[in-house]
């Protein structure tokens, strides 16, 4: 009697993440297990697709791969939402720069930036977790001979190759999502902008001409009561 193999793919830190636990029985060549998600709606269509997926790729590791793909779809939706909101805030910020700053605007934008930056950082951590899961699954596919009956290896050769292709695509998708539309860099740039136009402790705002077209704040001219802010040195190159 051959020993069954159990695979546990724990969910990253998110209530909509997906955990899958599967056990492969080599004697009967069957896979059983369960799928757990904090939100049933997130995996509804993935569950409906499982029978069709097995028709295309009958493999013991199909479920972990499928659930990783499904979770990446969830993360894609979250990141696209951040990107859309960032586009809108950037347009508003430009209008404020062209006119004048507003204390309430700075406060609201700073709070929004904090929330979106935290959300994007969480997405990055979850994408890294998915990358580690993909690495683990690739390793198991390369080590099929250690837990799969030799007689079945040839039958799974095509589906194993297909799963490797899907994992490679998933890993590429993760790397592209990390840099999609420069979300992280733009969030950092907007935080810098808000900190510059925010009122100082005396309630004054940075002059508009210092914020436009990358010009220096000083260039040797005094801005406050005849005194230069940085003794004639530019704050921007």
Provide the pLDDT for residue 105: 67
CA distance 76 to 73: 5
Provide the pLDDT for residue 28: 78
CA distance 64 to 134: 9
pTM: 0.71
Confidence category of residue 220, pLDDT binned at 50, 70, 90: very low
List, in order, residues 6 or more apart from 232 with CB less than 8 Å away: 218, 219, 220
Provide the pLDDT for residue 90: 83
Provide the pLDDT for residue 208: 43
Give 105-117 pLDDT, tens digit per residue.
677 788 888 899 9
Give 144-194 pLDDT, tens digit per residue.
888 787 878 888 889 999 999 999 999 999 999 988 889 999 999 888 877
Mean pLDDT estimate for the chain: 75
Provide the pLDDT for residue 103: 60
Structure tokens at 212: 């436009």
Using only the alpha carbons of the chain, give its radius of gyration. 26
Segments making up each domain of the chain, as ranges: 5-206
């Amino acid at each position: 009697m051959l020993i069954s193999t159990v695979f546990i793919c724990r969910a990253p830190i998110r209530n909509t993440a997906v955990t899958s636990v599967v056990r492969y029985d080599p004697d009967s060549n069957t896979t059983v297990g369960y799928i757990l998600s904090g939100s049933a709606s997130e995996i509804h269509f993935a569950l409906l697709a499982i029978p069709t997926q097995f028709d295309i790729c009958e493999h013991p590791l199909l479920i972990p791969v499928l659930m990783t793909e499904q979770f990446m779809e969830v993360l894609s939706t979250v990141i696209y939402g951040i990107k859309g909101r960032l586009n809108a805030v950037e347009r508003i910020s430009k209008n404020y720069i062209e006119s004048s700053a507003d204390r309430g605007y700075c406060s609201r934008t700073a709070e929004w930036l904090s929330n979106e930056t935290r959300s994007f950082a969480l997405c990055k951590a979850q994408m890294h977790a998915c990358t580690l899961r993909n690495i683990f699954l690739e390793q198991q596919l390369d080590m099929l001979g250690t837990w799969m009956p030799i007689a079945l290896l040839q039958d799974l050769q095509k589906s194993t190759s297909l799963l490797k292709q899907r994992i490679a695509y998933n890993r590429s998708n993760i790397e592209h999502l990390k840099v999609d539309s420069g979300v992280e860099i733009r969030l950092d740039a907007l935080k810098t902008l808000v900190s510059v136009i925010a009122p100082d402790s005396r309630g004054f705002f940075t002059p508009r001409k210092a914020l436009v077209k990358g010009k220096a704040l000083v260039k040797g001219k005094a801005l406050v009561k005849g005194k230069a802010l940085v003794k004639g040195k530019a704050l921007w190159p």
